[in-house]
Amino acid sequence: MWETCAVDLRVRLPRPIADEVEEVQRRDPEMLSRILAYAMTRRTIFDHLAAQPASGFSSTAPEAGLDGFEGTVLR
């Protein structure tokens, strides 16, 4: 797929979440790598989309909704 490298992370989490992370790490260490890769991919996509210029709709432009009704887009 792609080249990988090890990264050591130290994070501070609320105790219940930290306990859950430790349990996942004990049960399936590779799962944390997959979760982190997923989260970073989502963040990268979000950053990319947020940096795009506006789509051209004004904040009150009428749009057809998924149900076929027209409405006002609130942003």
Q: Does the residue 62 lie in any domain?
A: yes
Residue 38 CA from chain centroid, whole number: 7
Q: Does the residue 38 lie in any domain?
A: yes
Q: Does the residue 46 lie in any domain?
A: yes
What would the pLDDT profile of 17-58 be if each residue is shown by its tens digit? 999 999 999 999 899 889 989 999 999 999 999 998 876 555
Q: Does the residue 21 lie in any domain?
A: yes
Q: Does the residue 58 lie in any domain?
A: yes
**pTM summary value:** 0.55
Where in the chain does DSSP place strands (E)? 62-64, 70-72
Q: Does the residue 44 lie in any domain?
A: yes
Per the listing, tokens 């989502």 go with 42
What backbone phi and psi angles, to 5 degrees, belong to 56? 100, -10
Domain range for residue 23?
A: 15-72
Count of domains for the chain: 1
Q: Does the residue 1 lie in any domain?
A: no
Q: How confident is the model at residue 74 (pLDDT cuts 50, 70, 90)?
A: very low
